[in-house]
Amino acid sequence: MLPIDRQQQILTWLEEEGTLRVSEISSRLEVSEMTVYRDLKPLLEENRVHKTSNGISTIKDQSIPTNNCIYCLKPATSRRSVQLVKKDHTIEQACCPHCGLLRYGDIQGEVVQIMCRDFLTDMTISGKTATFLIDADLNLNCCQPQVIAFESNKQARQFQTGFGGHLHSFQEAIAVISEEMSGSDCCHD
């Protein structure tokens, strides 16, 4: 089998199965792992496949640029952005906790981690352990109802004292946002 034929076979398997280890490809093609690496090199350079912690995966064609919110398409470059890490090792960006929580609610079975940034310290935190303040009297020019993430429940309560709003755990925040947004357009300033 020629290298071009092996490359096409590898792409076919990856399309069908998502991710494969080099050793598995080597075994299936009955060639050495070094040959597989040589076959993968042009595919990696052409951005047709990429290395993951589990082996080699195809690069999915995304119609939404990765720097835009997967939910409302606004730029997801602010310090309020949220990342959803999926089981297939892809990462979806959301512009704010509001959109991140809504998206998580839609695809939670596919998500292994949701990360956001603490509003006060700008540190990366797990969304699952964060405290969320909804509807504070502070205009952040983002999606409504506004959601702010805090690592510390104590700091969230102190912030709430000055700016109002309602505090919620991760699961409570998803339920509140989903309920408020049923039938509404969320992403207006």
Dihedral of the alpha carbons of 51, 52, 54, 58, in degrees to the nearest 10: -70
Give the tens place of pLDDT for each residue, 76-101. Answer: 888 899 999 988 878 889 999 999 99
Domains of the chain as residue ranges with CATH: 3-58 (1.10.10.10), 82-182 (no CATH)
How does pLDDT run across 12-55, given as a tens digit for each residue? 998 888 889 999 999 999 999 999 999 999 988 888 888 877 78
- Nearest one of 28, 92, 84, 82 to 55, comparing CA atoms: 28
Radius of gyration of the chain (CA): 21
Does the pLDDT value for residue 3 go beyond 70? yes
Q: What are phi and psi of 24, to 5 degrees?
A: -70, -45
Lowest mean pLDDT among 44-53, 64-73, 157-166: 64-73
Whether pTM exceeds 0.75: no
Residue 188: is its pLDDT beyond 50?
no
